[in-house]
Structure 1
Amino acid sequence: MDTMPIFQAIGILKGKITQSQSDEYRFLIEINNVSYEIKTYHTSKCTREKLIKHIQENTSPARIMVYPRLKIDPDTAKQKVKFSLANFITTEDNSKLVGILSDNEFILRGIYKKVAGFKDPCITVFKNKDKRNELLFEKHLSKGKTKYFLPMNIPVKWKDAVITPYDARDSEIQQKYFVSLKAKFSAKKSTFTYHSLLDAPTNEIPQAIFVEPEQDLKTEETYIMSNF
């Protein structure tokens, strides 16, 4: 790797975007006749205003950079996919990510593992360990609220994967791999499918704030720190 690896989940979506009438920070993007929620509560004011301006002045699809937000619905056990807006992409945008990714593609960097509740192995993305996140964690921990620091599990359909996913329930599969890959998002199926490796899988896990549910996906009140 040319630079220090980090946990990451970010991608580009292209589709027609509309703004909610009831919540000014909530948007919908339509991709292949399927709509997904786009939240902008933590998006910069400038980026959000660019998106609103595009909606007001254009009927053409927009390209946006987003963070995926996935969770299992405890009532239906089905996967819910939403997104948070990271950036509005203009025609002049020449950032590195825009150069790497095509529409509806994502960069996923995390630990490849099996997770209860998901049919496919997941890329588990933790919060990176830096001064800002460490201070935030201490603040949230003092209030007994560490839900924000839970990892995000992103199931990936990876046929003929070059490594075996870590499985905490299988004593014979205890090797953990950090992977960096590109995945294609299918709007119709709400799935991520492996496209290509960005770097070779490694046993060297980047520094992160490792917080996980102690019991299962439905347990959100009790957490443990886990070391890798």
Structure 2
Amino acid sequence: MKSQIESTGNHELRLIVYPKAIHFPNPEQPHQIAFHFVKYENNNNVKAFKKYENLEFKLSGLWQFIPVCKIPCISVYRNFTPMQLELVKKMSLPRKVEFMKAKHLPLFWKDAPIPPFQYNPTLEKEERGKPMFVSIKAKFQPHKNVFKFDSLLAMPQVEAPEYFKAGKELKAEAMLALKEVGSLDDNRPS
């Protein structure tokens, strides 16, 4: 950040980040929220500054419970675009799976208009239902390590926009490939 301030002369920079959650196999072990740096934004871009306050995020994804988290999550997947598809085709198998991985972000949403989907294996497939797609504004709560609902940006939808998702077979193949190569970093496309 220091080099960015020195190169631009602007002392009012804002970090733009994507959130991600790390969940552990034991539901008793608390998840961790981390952030991936995207870019700096300066105060000249007034419109973008006013859209979201600090710690506010637009979250769009599937509203559901996941097995390793007691708090319902918004499962955020990468949007499918032809341009992204071309990039994915060039990636190694482990990188593809990593790219397609959902971000399951824990969310407190009191009085949600729809309940979070919860998978029930005892029901017949037709009776289980499926998670709804939601688009909301949420505020990150650092002291609780979760997001809290702020406002609805669109009505919940039965059908989600097209997105990337790695299936079980692709994940299994990627795990085998990773074991052979040693790590994800050893297998970057050139």
- TM-score under structure 1 normalisation? 0.62
RMSD of aligned Cα (Å): 3.0
Q: Which residue of 1 aligns with 2:79?
A: 128
Distance (Å, rounded) in 2 between the aligned partners of 1:86 and 1:162: 32
SS of equivalent residue, structure 1 residue 92: coil
CA contact (8 A) 1:151 1:211 kept: no
Q: Which residue of 2 aligns with 1:168?
A: 119
Alignment of 1:110-121 (within 5 A): 110-121=61-72
Are residues 1:71 and 2:17 paired? no
Distance (Å, rounded) in 2 between the aligned partners of 1:53 and 1:73: 41
Q: Compared with structure 1, are the counterparts of its residues 51 and 115 closer, same or farther at alpha carbon in structure 2 (3 Å cutoff)?
A: farther
Structure 2, gaps ≥5 residues long: 177-190
Alignment of 1:206-217 (within 5 A): 206-211=161-166
Q: Which residue of 2 aligns with 1:189?
A: 144
Distance (Å, rounded) in 2 between the aligned partners of 1:146 and 1:102: 32
- TM-score under structure 2 normalisation? 0.73
Deviation at residue 122 of structure 1 after TM alignment: 0.7
Structure showing the higher helix proportion among its residues: 2
Structure 1, gaps ≥5 residues long: 1-16, 20-48, 215-219, 223-228
Q: Which residue of 2 aligns with 1:139?
A: 90
The AA in structure 1 aligned to 2:118 is D
2:157 to 183, 202, 208: 202
Q: Compared with structure 1, are the counterparts of its residues 115 and 199 closer, same or farther at alpha carbon in structure 2 (3 Å cutoff)?
A: same
The AA in structure 2 aligned to 1:128 is N
The count of corresponding residues between Structure 1 and Structure 2 is 167
CA contact (8 A) 1:166 1:173 kept: no
* Larger-gyration structure (1/2): 2
The AA in structure 1 aligned to 2:70 is K
Structure showing the higher strand proportion among its residues: 1
Deviation at residue 89 of structure 1 after TM alignment: 2.4
